[in-house]
Structures are given as C-alpha cells and as structure tokens.
Chains A and B, each alone.
Chain A
Amino acid sequence: MEIALIGNPNTGKTSLFNNLTGSYEYVGNWSGVTVEKKVGVFKKNLGHLIDLPGVYTLNPLSKDEGVVTSFFLNESVDRLLNILDASQLERNLHLTLQLLEFEKPALIGLNMIDVANKRGIQIDYMKLSEILGVSVVPVVARSGKGCDKLVDVIGAKSIQPTKKNLTYYGKELEEAITAFSGELTGKTNHSLRFLAVQYFEGNEYVKNYVNGLTNPQKLKAIMEKLESELQKQTDFKSLTNFIYLKRKEVIEKIIAEVARKSDTVIPLSEKIDSIVTNRYLGMPIFLLLMYFMFMLTFDWLGTPLSDVLDAFLTGPVTAGFEKVLGAIHASAFIHALIIEGLVAGVGGVLVFVPQIFILFFFISLLEDSGYMARVALVMDRIMESVGLNGKAFIPMMIGFGCNVPGIMAARTIETPRERLLTILLTPLMSCSARLPVYALFVGAFFAAHKAFVVLSLYVLGIVVALVLAKVFSTTLLKSETSLFVIELPPYRLPQFQSLWKSTWDKGKGFVRKAGTFIFAGSVFIWLLSYAGPKGLNVDMDHSFLAAIGNIIAPIFDPIGFGTWQASASLITGFLAKEAIISTMNIIYFVPNDAGLQALLAHYYTPLAAYSFMVFILLYIPCLATVATIYKETNSKKWTAFSMIYAFVIAYVLSLIIYQGGMLLGIG
C-alpha cells in the first residue's frame, strides 16, 4: 500500500513522517524544507509512506511544488494522508478540497492544535470529519502524540473513497466539467472531475497530461466556451480566481461550523519579531549572531576541543598503531602506509569534527527556531539590488554546512532565472569541508585573530556572490520577473533532542566521508607520494605526486603558492575539499597539525597563506557539488560555467590580494 503524505508547507509533514516510519529526515521551521519526495516504510509494515514537498495548491508555481503534481499524475497512490495546520485551517482546506476531488481514500491529521489553542481557536474535529466525509485525527507531529491512532485508522480497510462533491462550482462550470469528462472517459484512471477542475485552473502539468490523452483543441474549446459564459457575470476576473472563490465559499461555511474563536493573546512570536526584524536592529542582530557562531566555532570552544582530539590522535592512537604494527612485525611499507598515509590523512580530517559539529549545531538552531525565514526577509533588500530575492539567502546559509543540500534548497525559488542564479552562486558559500583548511592556516599564521580572519573569508564568499549576482543578472540572465512572498512561521522553542538529531544527521556525513572517501584517497595519495619514476620509497620531491604537481605549479606562482605540494593538494581538493588537508598532512610528513603548522611557515608567507585560503574558498566546487549542479540545472553548459567562472574569479582575487599585498610591502 502506498500512502502519500501531503499538506501545506511547514505543517509538520516531515516530523510526522519521521514518527511514522522511525526514520530521520531533514526537518526545519520554514517553508520548503522538503524539496523531493521521500519514501519510508510505514510502521507495522502497512506499506510505504511517501513524504512530499509542502504545497498550497496542486497547481504549482515552483519546482518543488511540481514534484507533488507529477507524483499525483504519474504514480499510483492508495491513500492520501493530508496534514492540516489547525491554526491556519482556512488556507489549509483549499488543498484539502482539491485532494478530495482526486477521489482516493483520504485521511486527515490535524496538527498544531496547541498553536491554534494559543491563538484562541478551538476546533471541533468530529464535526470537521462529518462535513468532509473523511476521518480526522488530531496529532502532535513533533512529539508523535496521536500517531498510534493515525496508524490504526490508515490500517483499517474500511476507508472508502468519498464520492460526494464538496464544492459546487456553479451551473456553467459543472456543465463544462461534464463536457470535459466526456472527452476523457475511459482514457485515464484519474478522477475526471479533478483533471477538469485543475485544467480550468490553468495547471500546466495537468494540461500536458490531458493533452497527451485526447485532442487538445477540443479541451481548449470547452475552456474557451466556459470563459466566455462566465465573462457575462459582473465580478468575473479569471477562471483561476473564480474557482478559488467557489472553494473559499465552501471553506467559510465549514469554518463557521467547526471553529470557535475567542479573544486572542499576543503570541510570543510577535514580541520576538519586533526585535529581530526591527527596522534598525535586524541586520546588526544577524551579523552579531554570525560573529558569535564563528567565535564559538573557531575560538572559544571549537579549537580547544580540536586540540584535545588532535593530541589524542597523535598521542595514544598513533602509539597504539605503532604497537600493533610492531607486534605483528609489519613491513616498512605497511608501517609507512598506516602511519604516514592513513593516520595522517584520515586523522588530519577527523581532528576538525568538533568544529564542524558546532557549526552544524548553529545551522540547525537557525533552521529549527524559525529565524531562517526572518533572515530572508531582512536580507531581501540587499538581494533585490543584485537581482536575486531574499529567499536565495536560505540556500546560501545551508550552503555554509554543505553546498549540496544548499543547491537543492534553491528549488523553493519560484522564478527559473533566480533559481539558476542561486544554484550558480551557492558554491561560493564556504562549506564545512573548507573549514579545516582555514583552521589549519589561521592556526599557523593568524593565531591572534583566528575567528576574525575566518569570518573575513565567509564574508568575502558572500560579497563575491552578491557582486557576481549583479554581474550575471545584468548580462547573462536578464529578466524582469522576480517574486518574493515569504511565509514567516511562528517561532518554536527548539527541542534539544531534535537539534542534536539534526546536527548529527548533517555531521555524520562528514565523519562517513572521512572513513570512506578520504580513507581511500589517503591511501592513493600516499602511494603516489611513495612511488616515483625511479621506483618505490623515493624522495618525495621525485615522486609521481610531485611530478603531477609540478606540471601545474607554475600557474600558481603569481598568486603566491607555486609549489608542487600546493598544486597537488588543490587537485585532490576537487574530489572533496577536506582532501586538501589529508594531502598536506601526507606530503609534509607530519602526523599532527601542530607539527604541520610549524612546517607550513617554511613554505608560505602569511600573505601567501591568505591568498591560498581565498583560492580554496572560491575555486572549482567539489565533485559532489558539480554533480548536484548538473542534476538541478540539467545543463552541461551551466555546469561547466559554474566550474570555469569559479576558477577564474578565485585566480583573479588571489592575484589581486597577493600582488597587491606585495606592492604594499605586506608579504
């Protein structure tokens, strides 16, 4: 049995999904967290539960909404589980009425009753169930309360499709539905009434679907006839509007019967909003929060923890490996492979786990509390001036964790041009994998101003993205249309458990990558550095790795790091940015960061180090990101463009910084 979970954005579908399937999917407190359908196994093995992106209506505007409509048209579903936000019942019911027209067995989960009660709204769910003709179960998706009842009702075989037409669209439209249905009878398994109404509403997905089944001209004629008939009515604007108003009438009647409103108290949300989205304080508060996040990650908490972990890895862990290797009389080759290759390569990356987890914790906090949408609002003015909109800031913020989900999050942006622009620019956001590089270099060269220097890199990434947005939007991607309407969800006090889950979920990817990709990469890089044209165990400067690095090293001479070591690590950095650190640890022979930091001072000046960090920040996105850009844009041209422009801009900026610094006498 296939059960689809569907509802308005930010109504708790994914929270419920996690509760009903026992899995853990990404949740957050803003509209558009889920951008793809996700399938899980329903508790008690009842079947598959399919989590869909949130939609207001089945007539899509953006790509994530299109996912839902295509799902309805092209895949089979046995039951619909519609989640309603009790505090916004009116708006939510617009979708419900459309779903019921689809004529599949349906069930309603009424969520956020607590929020509704706080606003002084009481809902008679029994009455609602009676009117709609489907079961209504009150649930608290975050805690899982009411889920057992939901499982029982879904499991019951008796759920019948409700055949009564809740919305009467008026004589003219009902006649058109009949005519439309006549054209399609026997050609599809979907509800004809549903297809007809969606077609009249201007749903492009449905239009393409039905046009493939029958003569498009006939359908168009029906719609044109209907429009001309309705035009005679005085207040007729468009078919879409007409249908909307008909549904609204029905909903108002339902609301009058099921909801009782008492005097409302001002919710906490509005008090917080008067501060964080304050005219003057909004932006400073955001910057202060970011600064606090960086200080905690790089200075106050993250670095001391990383140092402890580093001491543990280079001390007891290395000693342990040495002991075991000694006990089994391992050959010099194996010994070197383990100690100089694996421990140095993988350990060098693992050291940064504490810092990365702190960063992810903050990002989760932003997502879960409801602040994310406010940031989008606060940033919109700046984003608008460069041809983007405030919503584009959300993918960029997520990009600070990892660019891949950041690029996916761009699906919620409605206009294709702004979406493409966001996809192209999100890789400039400094992801967590670039963080170890900064941590290493600031430790070696800028110990006194760690957080400040790192913050300057993050800000540089944002500034470059904004400047390029302006450049691209006035040259390559010219268009007037821009859309910015954003829902600001009520604040929620983040629960520690869900915060931790969310942090762990993001962070485990980093740990897993260290155990697989970086592990294999370290072995490979070490082998390249161990072997050379003249045989094994050669001097590192005569290894294959040095030979490869030397080919491209001259390119980087003008920007301050024309060594084969830097070149080799930049090549591996394309595979995964953390690999830069593994490679450096292996190349420079030192099994710990403290030793590596001391050694780096021989190879880099502080100016060259900064130039190197800027280059790492901006140059070609990692392999996984490039693959995601290709998947999301479906264009080889734009994918290639994203790699080339990033490389060019990185080179130019590093050149300006290094040569400019030399001229000023800083190097």
Chain B
Amino acid sequence: MQEKELIPQLYRTEFRKIAAVLCRSLGIEHISIAEDIVGDTFLLAAETWGLKGVPQNPAAWLYTVAKNKAKDLLKRNSIFSQKVSPELKDYGREGYETDIDLSVQNIRDSQLQMMFAICHPDLPAEAQIGLSLRILCGFSIDEIADAFLTNKETINKRLYRAKERLKQVKAKIELPPESEIAKRIENVLTTLYLLFNEGYYSSSTNTVLRQDLCLEAMRLTHMLTENKSTDEPSVNALLALMCFHASRFEARVDSKGELILYHEQDISLWNNELIKRGEYYMNRAATGYSLSKYHVEAAIAYWHTIVNNDTEKWEKILSLYNQLLMIEYSPIAALNRTYALSKVNGKEQAIAEAEKLNLGGNHLYHALLGELYSSVDNQRAIQHLEKALKLSRSVADKKVILNKIKKLRQ
C-alpha cells in the first residue's frame, strides 16, 4: 500500500490504542504528553518511511517507537519521582517497570478505562465528546472542528479545559468499583448516544465524517459489551438502537445531501446486515430486571424497520412512546407519540392532544401540526408549516417544509 494512504489509515486505527495505553501509564495529569508522544511517533513515521521504505510490520514499528519515547520520558523526567515513587511506596515494588504494555489485552483494557475517565460526570457533555473523539477515536483537531461545525481554536480550548478539569477532579483511569459502575455506565451511554446523534443528525455536509461518528459511537458501545462488568442490558439496547438507526444511513440522504423522509426512502438502500445485528443485540438486551429508555427506543427503532402501515405496528409504536414518556419526558418523544396516535386513533384526536403539548416555540411541533391538518384543514396546515419554516434553523429541514407547503398549495 502507498505510504501516503497507509499513515492516515494507521493513524485512525492505532493512535487511539497507543494513546490509551500511554495515558494510563503516564497518568491523567499527562494526557497531553501522551498525545504528543503518539503524534511525534506518526511524524517520525512520515519522515522515515518515505526515505527508508515502509517497515515489514508498520503497526509494530509505531508501537516500538512510541514505547521507547515514553520510556525515555519516564526515566528522564520528574514524572518518575512524582508519580512512580509514591506508587513504589504503596505497592512496595522493587524496581519500577518502565515497560509500556501494548498487548492486545492491555490495549483493550486501557481503552475501556479511558472511556470511563473521559466520560466523567463532572465534565460538560461537549467536553466529553470532544475528548472521546480525540483520545478514544483518534480524530484530528480539524476533524473534530468539522464535526462540531466550529474552528480549531475553539476545539483546542475545549480539549484543554476538559483535560484540566479531569486533573482537578482527579479522575481515575480505571473501571469504577461495583457500587458505582451502574451509574457510571449510564453516564458513558449518554455520551456515546450524543456522539452517535452528532453523526446522525449533524448539519455538516461531510457525509463520510458523519458516518464515521456513528460508527465510532457503535464501536465504543460494542467495547462495553466485550467486558463482563460493563456488558449490561442497557448497553446492548443502545447498541441495538444504533444499529437500527444506522441501517438507514444510505437511504436518509440523497446525492445532493438532502434529507429523505422515512416514508419516502428507498428500502433497498436499507442495510439488512445492520438490522440483523440490531436484532441480535436486542435479544442480548432482553435480560435483567430493568427497562431502560434505550430498550424502549430500540424497540421503537425496530418497529421502524418493518415496512407497512398496519394498525398493529402503529399501536405498538404508540404504546412504546407512552412507555418512553413515562420513563423520561422529551419534546421529540411527545411529538412522535402524537404522530403515532394519529395513525391509531385518527387525526382529530391527535390534533386535540397536540394542542395540549405546549411546544409552540418548537419548529417540529408546527411541522407535526402541518402534517396533521393536511387534508383536514389545509389553510391551518399551511399556517403551521410557515411557522415551522420560520423557526427551523436547518437548511435541510427548511427544504423539506417548503416542499410540503408547495404540495398543499397545488
């Protein structure tokens, strides 16, 4: 493979592995140094491989160089006396083992532990996602800026503050104790779901990047299922949910980057492999005693993979949205529930319930009423759609709404 393509590819797969192990070895106070070491390693690769050719085992080369750089640092710096000596006292070890363990097992363990350190409840959500993308996913600052639709300076500041905060709260790079782990897993899942949604709902026109975000969120969630102490039903439910949503990725957006609504999608573009995987994880999630909101959302997503307009499907979806709202309220769930209600009990009742929702400032509320009033009272439908147009802030959404208004005016 061309050296030019190889290094970016390796960056994507290996940066995060080495970074996780180094962060764990050097400690939470030295995340930046860990990042720098890995960065320098790749720089050296770019310089050397161009001149001397690509090594036999490129990944192993990277690991060796990174290891040596880290070991040098540990020997030279006061890191040794600050971090290591106290530990020597605690564990009574004879000599400090400056060995950086880049075995498959330790890489996996380190990444999982870093996930819990980074998805720390004391960090704002944006910071958690930013740092996850950097350390757990190996995204470059440019890529993260693109994902958040902002600039490098903003991201650099955000990451800096996030790392400082982690130092402040003395976040531990380890799996939380059994008494805390359920709650901490909840935190991690919230962040992973947000990360997934960044990709799924992003207004960025970079389709490849958006798909990457979804896939990364799925990969990280999957990592949790591979470890016994984090393989919870809610984790499997979230993974199922992500699979179902991701299965429609190709069908959701056309070649011009415009949104295609669910009932207008080309079903042949749905990814059946992902649907099957979603079903697999849903089965794994069907254990234990608690029903998480992810279970309910996954079930709803599952029903959306069934293509028909039968009352049974919509009754099930209505029932699921009722349950979801009873677990946790959200405006989106309230609106979707009302839509399902219209499919089961007709538009009149749905309109009556919609008007009790008190979501008049939300463009989706007006879009829903526009939909419900269509063929019932087209004048009011257009009024609501125009309100939705004004309130909406997404170019793609505006296009969809404009189309609807056009159709009603015909």
Q: Do A and B bind each other?
A: no
